Amino acid sequence: MKVLVSYATTEGQTRRIARHVADRIADMGHMVELARIDDADDIDLSRFDRTILAASIHVGHYQRGISEFAAKYAAKLGEKPSLFLSVSLAAAGHDAEDWRGLDKILADFQDATGWTPGRVEQIAGAYLPSQYDVFTRFAMRRILGKKDPEADLDQDKDYTDWPGLDALVGEWLGA
Ligand SMILES: Cc1cc2nc3c(=O)[nH]c(=O)nc-3n(C[C@H](O)[C@H](O)[C@H](O)COP(=O)(O)O)c2cc1C
């Protein structure tokens, strides 16, 4: 099987997730191509048996590049199995309002692009103050302080469930 894994990232966590997923796919004996979404603009999707797209949420939206790609290739993506990995900090918790927000962001994305992924998974991302500018650091400290009172707000914190990601990829490829 040949799988395309393409991603959009702002602070780098979704790149790590996409790389991890691509490595897992290769470990399972499949062929995989990993590309940043901006470099996949002219890709021939017919070369792949399956596609995984990954993007992260910032202020209620995925990166523009992923929306443009999904809109451009909606019909082609719909022809074969596809998986969308939606990366956020909301997915790191169990707040019902946060999860309703994730549903709404996803629904808006699907409406705007015309692409309905075969499967969607909400993936917990990371808090990365080492990557933020001074204003973002200030805003994110307040958000994370409420969300995770135990967290050291000066330190990066990874909320991604890596073994869970492995299990997801294995299950999806087997399906
Ligand atoms: C400026 C900013 C805004 C964010 N907005 C949201 C948001 O609206 N909802 C959410 O759940 N997470 C939000 N996050 C958390 C990111 O989705 C999370 O840090 C993710 O891991 C970022 O992935 P990336 O490193 O691939 O860009 C935000 C993070 C930053 C820095």
CA atoms within 13 A on the CB side of 147: 24
- Measured from the Cα of 55, ligand 1's closest atom is 26
- Given ligand 1 and candidates 89, 109, 143, which is best to mutate, with the most ligand atoms within 8 Å of its CB? 89
Domain residues of the chain, as ranges? 2-125+160-174, 128-157
Tokens 């629904």 belong to 107
pLDDT, one tens digit per residue, over 112-124 is 999 999 999 999 9
pLDDT above 90 for 175: no
Of 61-65, 71-75, 171-175, the one with minimum mean pLDDT is 171-175
Helix, strand and coil in the chain, % to nearest 5: 50, 25, 30
- Measured from the Cα of 60, ligand 1's closest atom is 8
What is the distance between the alpha carbons of residues 137 and 130, in angstroms, rounded to a whole number? 9
pLDDT, one tens digit per residue, over 86-113 is 999 999 999 999 999 999 999 999 999 9
What is the distance between the alpha carbons of residues 157 and 8, in angstroms, rounded to a whole number? 20
- Answer yes or no: are the C-beta atoms of 108 and 150 closer than 8 Å: no
- Measured from the Cα of 139, ligand 1's closest atom is 1
Tokens 């200030």 belong to 138
pLDDT above 80 for 140: yes
pLDDT above 90 for 2: yes
What is the distance between the alpha carbons of residues 21 and 28, in angstroms, rounded to a whole number? 11
φ/ψ of residue 75, rounded to 5: -65, -45
Q: Answer yes or no: is the C-beta of 25 below 6 A from any ligand 1 atom.
A: no
CATH topology of domain 2-125+160-174: Rossmann fold (3.40.50)
For 15, 20, 59, 145, 165, the CA distances from 8, given in Å and listed in that order, are 7, 14, 15, 26, 17
pLDDT, one tens digit per residue, over 16-38 is 999 999 999 999 999 999 999 99
| pLDDT at residue 129, rounded to an integer | 97
| pLDDT at residue 137, rounded to an integer | 97
46 contact partners, CB below 8 Å, separation of at least 6:
76
| pLDDT at residue 82, rounded to an integer | 98
